[in-house]
Amino acid sequence: MTEDGKLHDEAEELRNETAQGAPELREHDHVAELEKQLEEAKNKALYAAAETQNVRRRLESELQQATSYAAANFARDMLAIKDHLERALAAVTDELRQDKVASQFLAGIEATGRELEAALTRHGITRIPAKGEKLDPHRHQAMVEVPSDAEPGTIIEEMQPGYMMKDRLLRPALVAVAKKPD
């Protein structure tokens, strides 16, 4: 047999072996492809489950926020009423307080004011400290600067009280702030 003949026979033998092994190789490739698809499907399922859990947590958080602060607009309206009530009581003279009928009437109004304050407190609404504090732009609104011997930036007068509802600003305190004298 010639050299070419030997090469031809070896090539034929390799083809036969490859042809016999090819189904195994194709089956192995098919299994690998199926495993890859299974892994992708698992990853997609995990991603979808994580996304669903994130959406549920966000909705629960939004529901809790909405529940906690649902009364904010109502509380602001009640604060306006409280302000009017306090201004009316502040305008009452000592002479009027000495009158027996008027003093009973004023006692009822003051009791109403205390009850309103208690109701606001029960719902997490608290007054923001102002006078004597440093100006905090997140809680106070400076309406005017007044020359004063007090430290510049210190609140020297509260024009309208501010309130927080739990950890949120409901209404900033309107204040006068000290500045260096001219």
- Confidence (pLDDT) at 15: 60
Strand duo 140-147 + 168-171: pairing: unpaired
How do residues 13-52 score in pLDDT, each as one tens digit? 656 655 555 555 567 788 888 899 999 999 999 999 999 9
In this structure, the number of other CB atoms found within 10 A of the CB of residue 126 comes to 14
Query: pTM, whole model, 2 decimals?
Result: 0.63
Range of the domain at 57: 1-70
Neighbour order of strands in the sheet with 140-147: 140-147, 173-179, 155-160
Residues 132 and 177 in one domain: yes
Question: How many structural domains does the chain have?
Answer: 3
What CATH number corresponds to the domain at position 135? 2.30.22.10
How do residues 68-103 score in pLDDT, each as one tens digit? 777 888 899 999 999 999 999 999 999 999 999 999
Instruction: Please report which helix (H) or strand (E) contains residue 157, including its range.
Output: strand 155-160
